[in-house]
Chains A and B, each alone.
Chain A
Amino acid sequence: MTQPLDGLKVIEIGGTVSVSAAGKKFADFGADVIKIEPPQISEVRKIAPFPDDIFHIDKGAVHLAFDTSKRSIVVDHLTNSGKEIIQRLGSKANLIIMDIPAKEALDLINIFKDGDSLLTNIVTITPHGMTGPYKDRIENDLTLFGWSTRSHRHSITGREPLRYGPYAGVVQIGSTAAAVGMAAIWGSRSEGMSRLVDVAGVEALMGNVDSGFFLWAVNGALQPRSAGQSTGLYPMGAYKCKDGYMLFSAGRDPVYSRLCNAIGRPDLSTDKRFTDPVEKPKHFEAFKEILEEWLSTRTKYEAFDELQEKGVMCCPVLDASELENDRQSVHRKSYITRNQDGIGDITIAGPPFRMNGLHSDAWQSKPAPSFSQHTNEILEEYGYSKQETIALFRAGVTT
């Protein structure tokens, strides 16, 4: 069965979480993704959790999830011999995505230049871009998130700003690179021109829709740093029920009125205390008491079923142990468990989108490769003799 991206060749360089997340969708939907890993061990392989908390280069959860369906080759891109390999691999690729320091990226870009024209599509991922006074700065998931203006809002007033869940920022940057990489491939298919795309992590986060900068730039307004539950347009945020929490987004009509009806208090939908925008913030505690009383007799799933039946926007707040058994997840097989050699059963998220039905095999997630698993195979495929391959290993270019 063919997959949508069959025949595409994509190369990822750098071994970071970002670039691994960028390559994943290409790989799972059928492209031949070659993961070029540095001899010093890819960042993505070092990230916990590990089974039984025993670290292993091939068993990190993030690696197992993000490097699916790829082939792994180790190449030191800082050496000329390594660059020659990358040149040979890259010349047949539709796209190269790299997440390495700007200086190093520039060196690699130059080997794909023929005069002014570029021989293949290249997407670079760097914290601040390939140009400008900050181009050589080093950042990580936390600091990039701080740059994005999101941390500032993601906090309780007076306390330190927070990032999202670990790696949320760098994964988003990787997704940004994947999207534009796909567009670049499309662009060269239709008109034959290769492009150089410069994804700056800060810009990728700041330029997206949930950036606080836009609100300020357009309106000069700062979104208030409320703590969790909104005290203005409530109910918005998590409310306690019998066995956990329920997340509401029901502060405005028509959803607010539906909620009032659903909890048997249609009177509240016209109660000035809760409908007049000026009055409403003064009566947050009163409403909270009413809603929590109703919720206290219901489990989060009971409340979810009952309220959604009436068109109320709400969701149970789930923890890790509940994800896989959620009815919808079970029905759609949103998580899949499969055996991976040397580890046993592992569970990863299923397809991010379904092409042509839930059960089509457009998405096929094959096990993540062990470190350097395909080095020999790939070098042979690209014309290297065995003697040359061993020489590359001996010179520390590959591992």
Chain B
Amino acid sequence: MGNASLEGLKIIEMTEAWAGPVCASLMGDMGADVIKVESFPRHSLTRPTSPRYATMPGDGPVYERDALHHQGNRNKRNIAIDIRTESGNQILKKLLSDADVFIEGYAAGKIEKLGFGWKDVQKINPNITMISIAGWGLEGPYKKMVTLGAGLDATTGHLSLRGYPEGDFVDTHPNFHSDATGSSTIFFAALTALLQRQKSKTGTFIDLSQWEGLVWQFPTILAEWTMNQRIPERLGNDDPHIVPHGVYRTIDDDKWIVVAAEDDQQWEGLCKIIDRIEWSEISHKYSSIVGRIKGREEIDNAIESFTKQYEGFNAAEILQNNNVIASPVVTPPDVLLSSQLHDRSWHQTITHKWTGPVMVGGFLWDVEPDSLSWDIPTALVGQHNEEILIELGYDEKKISEFYTNGSIGNHYEN
């Protein structure tokens, strides 16, 4: 049995990609009854119909074997509805009528057009909390713009910080940091609203701009400008105030190690290991951080001449044993080799109809006494249609009518 922290809460999630779905899974991890209302007949973004890099081997439809989709949709039930149809519209209304939280991830304005704006939802269920997670929020000049996480990364200024000092933006790998961090923000927002409901006895609408959810995480970008009229430079792995602080080569081709010594004590440990003990002696200029800052290149070279002799995990262990910050730059397969994660039983083995048993990554946190469990593997499209519709009071006849008129479904056309 899983964790029961959020037991009794009913969550309706109607989002795609990452931030929304992952948030809903986090709630499911903690015992909420999460129903994902999946797009139908259009396939969801994370359920491509033709194979891609993330497609797992196995039989069955490609859109049921996408690894990214699997990772973001555990612990939910699934109903696939075409809410543009009258019946679909009715089903969603019924779902919302006794739900606690409704998370929707359409572009701004879209949900109103579908008849499920806050004004409508409020009428259906005055106690519900509705969260819209459009990229730039629901109002303002950008409200009509559409984006994914990579665009938010660029417009918060984060993109300008990442990357090689000598490189250009075009070389910088896009990332989806807002998706990874957005899920926790939405989670926190939903629970805040629920706590408020205990006092106000009424539901709340939350306009959560994912851009705003990202921008607060990088105060230095703005502060460098407002405090010191400076545009922060790309520093790669350097820290202007810490030497050493970088990524170094190991004995293996394209395998790397991070090494940093944040204070004099760590530096002393590092000097011992790289056979430069004299560099930490009080008479040597590098014994002070002030001297080290001026000798970054020489120090980096000395460290690399050490790390190049070792395999990354081994070098990291030697350095850590001497109180130096060090870790291998792990590749995805390396994660499976981590004795630490295995010791904590972090990995989860999931059996899925089409992919068979798969070892996947675990939870974001460990809870006592009722620890988390992966009770519901990622559901198939419309896997719980019948179960949910019966709960809503529909009979089998009605359900088969819905299938026939296309307001629900359980597979996508390729």
Which residues of A are in contact with B by a Cβ distance under 8 Å?
79-85, 107, 110-111, 384, 387-388, 390-397
A111 and B282 contact, Cβ closer than 8 Å, known pairs A388-B290, A390-B240? yes
What's the minimum C-beta distance from B119 to chain A, rounded to whole angstroms?
Answer: 51
Complex Cα gap A35–B147 (Å): 56
Decide yes or no: A387 and B240 within 8 Å by CB, A81-B289, A84-B290 being known contacts: yes
Distance A80 CA – B267 CA, assembled complex (angstroms): 10
Name A87's closest neighbour in chain B (CB-CB).
B282
Q: For the complex, what is the distance from the CA of A8 to the CA of B323, rounded to whole Å?
A: 42
Is the Cβ of A391 less than 8 Å from the Cβ of B240? yes
Contact at B293–A395, with CB atoms within 8 Å? no
Contact in complex: B264, A388 (CB < 8 Å): no
| Given A391-B240, A394-B262, A395-B263; A80-B290 close (CB under 8 Å) | no
Complex alpha-carbon distance, A81 and B290, angstroms = 7
Bound: A81/B242 CA distance, A: 12
- B263 in contact with A391 (CB, 8 Å): no
Tell me which residues across on chain A come within 8 A of B183, comparing CB atoms: none
**Contact present for B293 and A391 (CB under 8 Å):** yes
CB distance from A142 to the nearest CB of B (A): 34
A83 and B282 contact, Cβ closer than 8 Å, known pairs A391-B240, A391-B242, A394-B242: yes
**Contacting residues of chain B (255-286) with chain A, CB-CB under 8 angstroms:** 262-265, 267-268, 280, 282
Q: Which of A85, A390, A395 contacts B262 (CB 8 A)?
A: A395
Q: In the complex, are the beta carbons of A84 and B288 less than 8 A apart?
A: yes
**Chain B residues within 8 Å of A388, by CB:** 289-290, 293
> Which residues of chain A are within 8 angstroms of B201 by Cβ–Cβ distance?
none
CB of B282 within 8 A of CB of A391, answer: no
Q: Is B240 a contact of A395 with CB atoms below 8 Å?
A: no
CB distance from B120 to the nearest CB of A (A): 53
Q: Contact at B264–A387, with CB atoms within 8 Å?
A: no
A131–B282 Cα distance when bound, in Å, is 23
Chain A positions within 8 Å of B293 at CB level: 387-388, 391
Partner of A392, one of B265, B287, B289: B289
Q: Which of chain B's residues have a CB closer than 8 A to the CB of A79?
A: 263-265
Which A residues are CB-close (under 8 A) to B356? none
Q: Once the chains bind, are B241 and A394 in contact (CB under 8 Å)?
A: yes
Q: Say yes or no: is B291 at the interface (Cβ < 8 Å to chain A).
A: yes
> Given contacts A110-B282, A387-B240, A387-B241, is CB(A84)–CB(B291) below 8 Å?
yes
B 212-252 binary contact with A (CB < 8 Å = 1; else 0): 00000000000000000000000000011111000000000
**Could you tell me if B264 and A391 are in contact, using CB atoms closer than 8 angstroms?**
no
Q: Which residues of A contact B241 (CB under 8 A)?
A: 387, 390-391, 393-395
Measured in the bound complex, the distance between the Cα atoms of B241 and A391 in whole Å is 4
From A84, A85, A397, give the contact of B263 (CB < 8 A). Answer: A397
Judge whether A395 and B264 touch: CB under 8 Å. Answer: yes
When distances are taken between beta carbons in the complex, the residues of chain B under 8 Å from A387 are 240-241, 293
Cα-based distance from A347 to B179 in the complex (angstroms): 59
Among A111, A392, A396, point to the contact of B290 (Cβ < 8 A): A392
Contact yes or no, B282 A395, CB < 8 A = no
* Residues of chain B with a CB closer than 8 A to A396's CB: 262-263
CA distance A355 to B263 in the complex (A): 47
Which residues of the other chain, B, contact A81 by a CB distance below 8 angstroms? 263-264, 287-290
Chain A nearest CB: distance from B280 CB in Å?
7
Give the complex CA separation of A81 and B241 in angstroms.
Answer: 13
Q: Which A residues touch B288, using CB under 8 A?
A: 80-81, 83-85
Give CA–CA (A390, B220) in the complex, Å. Answer: 14
B residues near A384, Cβ cutoff 8 Å? 290
Chain B residues lying within 8 Å of A393, measured Cβ to Cβ, are 241
Report which residue of A79, A83, A110, A393 has the largest number of chain B beta carbons within 10 angstroms of its beta carbon. A79
Please list 27 pairs of residues, one from A and one from B, whose beta carbons are closer than 8 Å in the complex, sorted by A's number: A80-B288, A81-B264, A81-B287, A81-B288, A81-B289, A83-B282, A83-B287, A83-B288, A84-B287, A84-B288, A84-B290, A84-B291, A85-B290, A107-B282, A387-B241, A387-B293, A388-B290, A388-B293, A390-B241, A391-B242, A391-B290, A392-B289, A392-B290, A394-B241, A394-B262, A395-B241, A397-B263
What 6 new A-B contacts, CB under 8 Å, besides A84-B288, A391-B240? A79-B263, A80-B280, A107-B282, A387-B241, A391-B243, A396-B262
Tell me the nearest residue of chain A to B243, going by C-beta.
A391
Q: How far is B227's CA from A390's CA once the two chains are assembled, in angstroms? A: 15
When distances are taken between beta carbons in the complex, the residues of chain A under 8 Å from B291 are 84
What CA separation (Å) do A52 and B239 show in the bound complex? 44
CA distance A384 to B289 in the complex (A): 11
B240 touches A397 (CB 8 A): no
- Report how far A83 CA is from B280 CA in the complex, Å: 12
Chain B nearest Cβ from A73, distance in angstroms: 15
- With known contacts A394-B262, A397-B263, A80–B287 Cβ distance under 8 A: yes
In the assembled complex, the Cα of A317 lies from the Cα of B282 at a distance in Å of 55
User: B263's closest neighbor in chain A, by CB?
Assistant: A395
Contacts of B280 in A (CB 8 A): 80
Max count, chain A CB within 10 A of own CB: residue among B239, B280, B289, B291: B289
Closest to B267 in A: A80
Q: How far is the CB of B166 from chain A (nearest CB, A)?
A: 20
With a cutoff of 8 Å between Cβ atoms, the chain B residues found around residue A84 in the complex are 282, 287-288, 290-291
Say yes or no: A80 contacts B240, CB within 8 Å.
no
CB of B278, distance to nearest CB on chain A (Å): 12
Kindly state the separation between the CA atoms of A222 and B387 in the bound complex, as whole angstroms: 99
Considering the complex of A and B, which 3 residue pairs feature the smallest CB-CB distances, nearest first? A84-B288, A391-B241, A80-B287
Residues in chain B near residue A107, CB distance under 8 A:
282
- Chain B: minimal CB distance from A346 (Å): 33
Assembled-state Cα–Cα distance A212/B290 (Å): 51
For A83, the closest partner residue in chain B by CB is B282
CB distance from B224 to the nearest CB of A (A): 12
Chain B residue nearest to A107 (CB atoms) is B282
- Determine which of A110, A111, A390, A397 lies in contact with B264 in the assembled complex, contact meaning CB atoms within 8 Å: A397
Bound Cα distance A397, B240 (Å): 16
Determine the residue in chain B with the shortest Cβ distance to A387: B240
Question: With a CB–CB cut-off of 8 A, which chain A residues contact B265?
Answer: 79
User: Closest chain B residue to A390 by CB distance?
Assistant: B241
Return the chain B residue nearest A384 by Cβ: B290
A290 to B291, CA, bound (A): 78
**A110 CA to B242 CA in the complex, in Å?**
27
Q: Which residues of A contact B267 (CB under 8 A)?
A: 80
